[in-house]
Amino acid sequence: MNRTIFAGIGHYLPERIVKNQYFEKFMDTSDEWIQERTGIKERRWVDEGETVSGLALKATELALQRAQMKPQDIDFIIFASMESDVVFPGGGCFLQHKLGIPGVPSMDIRNQCSGFVYGLTVADQFIRTGMYKTILLVGAEIQSTGLDLTTRGRDMAVLFGDGAGAAILTASDNPNRGVIVSKLHADGTYAKKLWGEWPSITHHPRITPEMLKTDRIFPKMEGRYVFKHAVTRFPEVIREALDAANLTIDEVDLVVPHQANLRITEAVAQRLGITMDKVYSNIHKYGNTTAATIPICLSEAVEEGRIKEGSLLALASFGSGFTWASSLVRW
Ligand SMILES: CC(C)(COP(=O)(O)OP(=O)(O)OC[C@H]1O[C@@H](n2cnc3c(N)ncnc32)[C@H](O)[C@@H]1OP(=O)(O)O)[C@@H](O)C(=O)NCCC(=O)NCCS
């Protein structure tokens, strides 16, 4: 059976840098609070006119260049995002059009912060069975346009950033490389602990002028509750994958977790019994970029020489749903 290897990885972040001090103008917060409680110093936000598929295109172009491939080499697109450029169709179709490859199948995956690992798992199944040879997997998000920039929304507004990462996944007959095992989970019991309620598809009509005046149009989170689940689920799902592959945490070269809060990442490292130098972190620059986070981390870690051919990686995510997932990858 084929193995799924990363032939190329790329990322793109909007040019506009939003530092913590920016929020002090609109809400009761401070650079000190944000850094101390989250580890975030700044994030990238889009300017008017930038689109989710546009960010995805730039990340894809870099990934293709690094894979030494052309758009025509792509057999299938998996687009992991909470959003599209519009309500529908999904962003994968817009990206496919921008890449100029009509007819190539495109599927959106909507699993919030776990979107990339879920997408990788789906891609791995198609490649292992031989249905597709080369798959473009993208994580791309614009969160900044939907945040409450008042004190009421300060717990969410300071956390999120925009960006995109893209992986060119391809079939290899080398049994020593590629995706080794993935573990996926979800528990809808907790759907309302981190969610965006309105505009509601079941509300008649979906949005009214009255609704726009309430805070229910903004994403909501019970921060401490989510935090507690995250610090349990991350190590649990990494260990589950390691056990399935008969590997130990000591054999892992780099843990690449979803970046939600530096304190979550530090707690995960501690619970896994590893030091922070074995855990990738770039949250200080970008905040939480939802499904784009893990491919952005991978792309930067490759550029920095922290991932090399043969490195054993543990990718792990946790997010709204709740959903959580892990993949072990031999680069
Ligand atoms: C959101 C989060 C950073 C808040 O940090 P925290 O240390 O848990 O803070 P708390 O929620 O306990 O709030 C402490 C106080 O800080 C306040 N606060 C929240 N955001 C603030 C901000 N940006 N600036 C200043 N104060 C803020 C709260 O209102 C609260 O005030 P109160 O005590 O008067 O009620 C943290 O809970 C978190 O990271 N949660 C999980 C994030 C996550 O995993 N997200 C999604 C997964 S994808």
Q: How far apart are CA 60 and CA 79, in angstroms?
A: 11
Which residue has the CA at smallest separation from atom 12 of ligand 1? Answer: 224
Which residue has the CA at smallest separation from atom 21 of ligand 1? Answer: 155
Q: What is the DSSP string of 52-101?
A: HHHHHHHHHHHHHHHHT--GGG--EEEEE-S--SSSSS-HHHHHHHHHT-
Q: How far is CA 319 from CA 54, 140, 162, 293, 324, in A?
A: 24, 15, 16, 12, 6
What's the average model confidence in pLDDT over 172-181? 96
pLDDT over threshold 90, residue 306 = yes
Tell whether omega for the bond before 205 is within 30 degrees of 0, i.e. cis: yes
pLDDT over threshold 90, residue 233 = yes
Q: Residue 72 is encoded by which pair of tokens? A: 């025509």
Q: ∠ CA 54-60-66 to the nearest 5 degrees?
A: 150
State the pLDDT at residue 32.
98
Coil vs helix vs strand at 227: helix
Read off the pLDDT band of 152 (50, 70, 90): very high
Pocket of ligand 1, candidates 155, 156, 225, 320: which has the most ligand atoms within 8 Å of its Cβ, to mutate?
155
Q: How far apart are CA 301 and CA 151, in angstroms?
A: 35
Least confident piece of the model among 139-148, 187-196, 208-217, 254-263: 208-217
What's the average model confidence in pLDDT over 100-129? 98
Q: How far is the centre of ligand 1, averaged over its atoms, from the C-alpha of 187 (Å)?
A: 23
State the pLDDT at residue 58.
98
Q: How far apart are CA 313 and CA 295, in angstroms?
A: 13
State the pLDDT at residue 1.
84
Q: What share of the chain is helix, strand, coil (3-state, %, to 5)?
A: 45, 25, 35
Residues with catalytic roles: 113, 258, 288
pTM score, whole prediction: 0.97
Q: What is the DSSP string of 93-105?
A: HHHHHHHT-TT--
Read off the pLDDT band of 111 (50, 70, 90): very high
State the pLDDT at residue 244.
98
Which residue has the CA at smallest separation from atom 43 of ligand 1? Answer: 260
Give the chain's mean pLDDT.
Answer: 97
Coil vs helix vs strand at 159: coil
pLDDT over threshold 90, residue 290 = yes
Q: Decide: 260 in ligand 1 pocket, CB within 6 A.
A: yes
Pocket of ligand 1, candidates 30, 34, 37: which has the most ligand atoms within 8 Å of its Cβ, to mutate?
37
N- to C-terminal Cα separation, the chain: 18
Q: Percent of the chain having pLDDT more than 90? A: 98
CB 148 within 8 A of CB 39: no
State the pLDDT at residue 286.
98
Least confident piece of the model among 92-106, 199-213, 220-234: 199-213
- Between helix 293-303 and helix 115-129 the angle, nearest 10°, is 80
Which residue has the CA at smallest separation from atom 20 of ligand 1? Answer: 155
Least confident piece of the model among 60-69, 205-214, 288-297, 316-325: 205-214
State the pLDDT at residue 200.
87
Read off the pLDDT band of 292 (50, 70, 90): very high
Read off the pLDDT band of 201 (50, 70, 90): confident
What's the average model confidence in pLDDT over 116-142? 98
Report the nearest atom of ligand 1 relative to the CA of 263. Answer: 39
Q: Residue 120 is encoded by which pair of tokens? A: 């990788």
